[in-house]
Amino acid sequence: MRKRKRSAKTGRRVVVCAALALCLCGCQVPRPELPVVGEKKTESRAGGGYGAEGGAAEKGENPGGEMGWKDAPSSYAPQVRTETIRLAGEGEVQVPQEAALPAYRVVNEPYSEAEYGRYKEIVREIYGISWKEGERDAQGEFSGDGMYYLSFPFTDVSKDKTAILWIDRMDPNLTFAGDGEYQPDEGFRLLVSRGEAGTEEEREMLRQRLEEKSEAFIRRLSEEELCSGAFVRDEVRWLGIRTRNETTGKWEQGRYGLELVYERTCGNVPVPGREPTLMGKPGSAIQYIGFVYADDGTLLELKNIGRQSLEADGGRNGAEKAGEAAFILPFDAAAQIFEQYVRTYDDTRRALPAGGFAESAAAGDGAGTVTAIRFTRAALEYRYVPAAEEEGAEEGGFLRPVWNFYGTASVGQTRAGERSLEGEITPVANGREIILVSVDAADGSIF
């Protein structure tokens, strides 16, 4: 896989006086990860509580370090108002149960030929798809009936170090992909409005059945040592499916499907990387496995992206030795950094990715473009930092503890002195919850 060049991590570094006093504990042996499939969920701990006025915390003992985050408040309600940004909302503060959050080195693990063979056997076992033996091309191979193609562009088979195994159903008359005028989410909503997507009870039964099949597949991978670590269900999304009319040749909306995505965790700590980021650089995902099914349960896509092992990485977050408990920035300090960054953020310089972001530019007649942000939650999680972003590193990357602040956002116009948006309002990322800001838990810098 061709590596995208990334600049070194930049961002405003905010000096937080007492918050950055190092508080280290003794050497910790990293707990082995368990091959568990579950829902994305972290536990909240009660704490001082945040009021709605200005987002100020009730201060208490919170020195950071191994257990410092256990004193995080149970909820948080920031309020920031500038000429270009409105931030409000309230949500819980989610912290993990782990005794420590050391930094890790992520090492890529490509598949061997023997492992590739076991992978195909599991696909046959779960989905009934067999493969044409001995008829492999440089990028993959077809199933025996020619309906599926398994590509392996980034495994040992093609002499690369990033593992990707991707199965597509080769049906030229069916697609769930979006384009400039059509989005699968909108297609599904249209079917629901027309009563053509089954009942809610029927969809729930289908979802449960397909989740069971997907999780059985992941468990088999774990049993055969083709993946390591735990996986949590990160996304459940209903999609519109278009089929080509054989008579007219035109694409028509008439079916629906389900997308399920499972992300690998570090122990029980999430490692989000697929969500867009409003302010700062988007993250990168470690291993994730995605499934797309049609409404009759037919597998349309199975993508298994990445395969890594984790090694304790010393010298990070104040840890002197590999596996030592690392310093963790207290939540109240991270919250101050978050609010200050939002308050001073130059909205007009933001690189706005496709998929719902609107251009930010001043409008005439006393009106201006404003980004309205609704905070939903904060969580202490890991962030995967590819090796390209770390000096002296070559392959793989690193897991770093971060405070992620989540929310939804919309872009619209507002008149001078008015609070509400008016005119055409564009939701960011189609209204989905995204990461607003990711704060490095080691030094308070912004990714």
Residues 126 and 232 in one domain: yes
**pLDDT value of residue 268:** 82
Highest mean pLDDT: which range of 4-18, 53-67, 162-176, 311-325 = 162-176
**pLDDT value of residue 227:** 86
Residues 178 and 295 in one domain: yes
Residues 112 and 166 in one domain: yes
Residues 203 and 232 in one domain: yes
Among 32-36, 162-166, 345-349, whose mean pLDDT is lowest?
32-36
* Long-range contacts of residues 28-33, Cβ cutoff 8 Å, at least 24 apart: 28/66, 28/99, 28/100, 28/102, 28/323, 28/324, 28/325, 29/323, 30/102, 30/104, 30/310, 30/312, 30/323, 31/98, 31/267, 33/228, 33/229, 33/230, 33/265, 33/266, 33/267, 33/310
**Considering the domain boundaries, does residue 415 fall inside one?**
yes
Q: Residue 86: which of 280, 369, 353 has the closest Cα?
A: 369
**pLDDT value of residue 61:** 36
Look up the domain containing 180 and give its range: 107-311
Region 305-324 average pLDDT: 62
**239-251 confidence digits (pLDDT tens):** 999 899 888 888 8
Q: How many domains does the chain have?
A: 2
Residues 99 and 113 in one domain: no
Highest mean pLDDT: which range of 5-19, 40-54, 71-85 = 71-85
pTM of the model: 0.74
Q: What percent of the chain has pLDDT over 70?
A: 69
| Distance between CA atoms of residues 281 and 180, nearest Å | 24
Q: Is the confidence at residue 138, as pLDDT, over 80?
A: no
Residues 253 and 360 in one domain: no
Q: What percent of the chain has pLDDT over 90?
A: 34
Residues 233 and 123 in one domain: yes
Residues 94 and 131 in one domain: no
Q: Is the confidence at residue 234, as pLDDT, over 50?
A: yes
**Considering the domain boundaries, does residue 400 fall inside one?**
yes
Residues 296 and 335 in one domain: no
